Structure 1
């Protein structure tokens, strides 16, 4: 399938949009790492910014979880390494939330 021919202004606009989306994802991951955003709050968002994040990347952004622990959690929760948030099933999402439930 061939890519559509874009004008220079259309390419520039697409590039600006992509940069803005990447920046928002990076800010979201930083907020998750710092504890300003919790996993239940993140999973409650149903937009493309969150939906296209890989579950592994989200787990690695949680405080105290590194690459090895994230891999173990994915295996324990029976979630594929390549799964994105938007692709989580209801049971997978529920198990993930149960595991990271915070007591306020």
Structure 2
């Protein structure tokens, strides 16, 4: 069965729309943390239910915590043995507790 050009274009448009929505949702989580309306603990709690919260890189969330900054956030993550590509959903409960205490 041959795939027509319109079907491919439609599928491409759907994929691009989903990717755009995901980027916007990720940005809203990060900006919520940066604004102080969402805490790090809330992001961890929501990550088991909300796929977007679990999908965001931990370094992006840590850097956006008010008063922390990029250098300190990356240093804390390095001390805990977490890489730059670690997602929020990949972190154990004990590490989550440590991060919440350190990144206040």
| TM-score, with length taken from structure 1 | 0.81
C-alpha contact 1:79 1:92 (8 A) present in aligned 2: no
Match of 2:51 among 48, 52, 59: 48
Runs of 4+ deviating beyond 3 Å: none
Aligned match of 1:58 in 52, 56, 61? 61
Task: Name the one with the larger helix percent.
Answer: 2
Deviation, structure 1 residue 100? 4.2
Change (3 A) 1:65 1:100: closer
Two-structure CA RMSD over aligned residues (Å)? 1.6
Partner residue, 1:29? 30
Q: Which runs of 5+ in 2 are unaligned?
A: 1-6
Of 6-15 and 60-69, more deviation after overlay is shown by 6-15
Count of equivalent residues: 96
TM-score, normalised relative to structure 2: 0.81
